[in-house]
Amino acid sequence: MTTVSGPGPFPGTEPLAAQQAVMDQLVDVPYGVDGLPFLVQLPQRGAGSDPVGRTASLLDELAAEVGPHGWKLADRPGADLRGAAATLRDDLTALGVAAHGYTGRLTVGALGPWSLAAQLYLARGDRVLTDAGAVRDVAASLASGLAQHLADLRAQLPGLGDVVVQLDEPLLGQVAAGVLPTFSGYSRIPAVAGPELVEGLQPVLDAVHAAGGSTTVHVGPAWVGVAPVVLAGAGGVGLDVGAWDERTWETVARAVERGVSFWAGLPRARVSQCAGPEVGTVADALTVPWKRVGLPVARLRDVVLTTPATPLPPGDQAARDALGTLVRVAEVVAERADG
């Protein structure tokens, strides 16, 4: 069955209402479609609910705080980290209420080690990315923290099925290209070679697998991130799809042929005043290049459909509608997989 999920970021500031909306849209889905609910993140609550702060709250034995230019490593835990941890606990509590009795699969998101190292600063210095030893420390801390996060999730929902940890690596392509500026802005951080990218991802992926979870890594629109993700041993790879690009889709085909599941970040549906959301056009963004690159149509059943790696539209109803539209897109994809 074609699976539907979504990004963690969700509009609003009330975790219970947001989590209930996700469960409403992704649990009771049509025949041929499999819903994969996700633990919500509410960035509108401010520092600690943003992707860097949320992920920093998961780090084991590493402290962080908000500095002049964003989150940075700290000598000891302070109010910023306690606030981030508190919002995460609130989200887990909301999940326990909204998903009470749920026994299916669930996905949870966090920044991957490279995108975290690119946005988190040293306690007294530049980005963590500039210090190879600090990058390794952050990756090891994240690996341990995610294992504990899985245990906390299962404590909230004892009957929970498979938990898929989605590592978001939107900056992986920029890390590989060496285009990220240093703190001063006068120079660029040197590119990280492919083997090093793989080595940085592996301990985090291995820790999740050892804790009984599954993994996928979403690289945004940058196809160059797909190969390191596959070589690092991720169970799935996510990529935002749009206009046809032969190199991108050949990369996708190689990943699928290696048995890696494909998480397709689909464009938002345009809405016609007469016919409503143009779900067929959105489905085309996946199925047309899929066929053009020679992948078996039946393998579309194994694809996970998500919205792009950006927050859902503002407003509770708009977010619900976006997820509902994606379910309808999944119906179309599932029909084409059987065709």
Q: Specify the residue for token string 């689909």.
A: 266
Q: What is the mean pLDDT of residues 305-318?
A: 77
* Dist CA 115 CA 52 (whole Å): 9
For residue 11, the model assigns a pLDDT of 87
* Dist CA 119 CA 54 (whole Å): 13
For residue 73, the model assigns a pLDDT of 97
> Looking at the chain, how many residues does it have?
339
For residue 183, the model assigns a pLDDT of 86
Q: What are the tens digits of pLDDT across the range 211-268?
A: 999 999 999 888 999 999 999 999 999 999 987 889 999 999 999 999 999 999 998 8
For residue 309, the model assigns a pLDDT of 62
Q: Residue 289 corresponds to which tokens in the numbers above?
A: 């290049």
Which amino acid would we find at residue 70?
A: G
Residues 6+ apart with CB under 8 A from 324: 25
For residue 310, the model assigns a pLDDT of 65
Residues 6+ apart with CB under 8 A from 209: 215, 233
What residue ranges define each of the domains in the chain, with the CATH number in brackets? Answer: 2-338 (3.20.20.210)
* Dist CA 308 CA 218 (whole Å): 10
Residue 170 phi, psi (nearest 5): -65, -20
Q: What is the mean pLDDT of residues 201-214?
A: 98
Q: Choose the weakest-confidence range: 31-40, 114-123, 263-272, 321-330.
A: 263-272
For residue 268, the model assigns a pLDDT of 85
For residue 275, the model assigns a pLDDT of 58
Distance between alpha carbon 117 and the CA centroid of its chain, in Å?
16
Q: Residue 258 corresponds to which tokens in the numbers above?
A: 């290696």
Residues 6+ apart with CB under 8 A from 6: 22, 26, 38, 306, 307, 312, 323, 326
* Dist CA 90 CA 149 (whole Å): 14
- With 70 as the cut, is the pLDDT of residue 326 above it? yes
Q: What are the tens digits of pLDDT across the range 88-122?
A: 999 999 999 999 999 999 999 999 999 999 999 99
Average pLDDT over the chain, rounded to an integer: 93
- The model carries a pTM of 0.95
Distance set, CA 57 to CA 13, 14, 43, 136 (Å): 18, 19, 14, 17
* Dist CA 198 CA 217 (whole Å): 12
Q: What are the tens digits of pLDDT across the range 50-101?
A: 999 999 999 999 999 999 889 999 999 999 999 999 999 999 999 999 999 9
pLDDT class of 273 with cuts at 50, 70, 90: low
Q: Pick the closest to residue 110 from 81, 149, 67 (CA basis).
A: 149
